[in-house]
Amino acid sequence: MVISSSNIYSESNLDVAHINTANKINVKRFTQNGQIQIYQSLYRGSYPSIIRDSLRNAALGRRVLLIQFMKGGVKQGVDNAVKLCGNLTWVRPSHSFDQYNSEEIENNKNLKQSIYKSTVELWNFCKKELKSGENDQIILDEIFLAIEMKIIDKNDLISTLENRFISGDVILTGTDIPKDLLLMANQITELRS
């Protein structure tokens, strides 16, 4: 029932208009999370539209965090995030698989360990950001490849997404997406060439 603003109803029905405040109830704060969106493609490197949208959102005043798990380079990493448009934080690992050929990585144990360590450091940073509530949108580019390569644990990602606090959307991209994560998604977009 809706009480009109004219107070006529409330004056004639005092039982409805007056709320008994003697029996206070502890109310739990309701946190609202944005949607989980998944963008999948048959091949890597098909997500420039997502990066373009993140720039546009940042220019419109939204706080955006863009994480690229498999692309990195010199003087990058969590400590050297790039800020664009004042609101977009773009982070890549300091060492990544895209910097080297697969033979070079397999033949160099220290290099392989450094790449894994850098990607795990980036994932730990992401987990904190997903729970902080400080961003309006978080994009985890190629996170499914990091799961496939067994750098990031699928169940850790699921748990983190379930316990996230972000008012906007979390966007996940990749090629081979585990069924558990597809079932969590509010939106699934398949990109085709």
| Residue pLDDT, tens place only, 30-59 | 455 789 999 988 777 666 788 888 889 999
From CA 52, how far away is CA 16, in angstroms rounded?
A: 53
Ranges assigned E (strand) in 32-100: 36-41, 64-68, 82-84, 88-91
Among 50-59, 78-87, 93-102, 176-185, the range scoring the smallest mean pLDDT is 93-102
Which pLDDT score, from 0 to 100, does residue 47 have? 67
pLDDT at 121: 94
Quickly state the pLDDT bin for 161 (edges 50, 70, 90). Answer: very high
Domain ranges for the chain, please list them.
32-191
Output the pLDDT for position 158.
95
pTM score above 0.85: no
Q: Compute the average pLDDT of residues 165-178.
A: 88
The pLDDT score that the predictor gives to residue 87 is 94
Rounded mean pLDDT of the chain?
81
Residue 3 pLDDT: 34
Q: What is the pLDDT of residues 17-34, one digit of tens each?
A: 444 545 555 444 445 578
- Tell me what the mean pLDDT of segment 83-92 comes to: 90
pLDDT band, residue 2 (cuts 50/70/90): very low
pLDDT at 35: 92
Coil, strand or helix at 189? strand
List Cα–Cα distances, 9 to 2, 4, 16, 21, 79, in angstroms: 10, 7, 9, 21, 61
- Whole-number pLDDT of residue 19: 44
Stretch 98-106: mean pLDDT = 80
Q: Would the pLDDT of 138 be above 90?
A: yes
Question: Residue 171 forms beta bridges with which residues?
Answer: 37, 139
- In the CATH hierarchy, which fold is given to the domain comprising 32-191? Rossmann fold (3.40.50)
| Predicted local confidence at residue 185, as pLDDT | 92
pLDDT for the residue numbered 18: 44
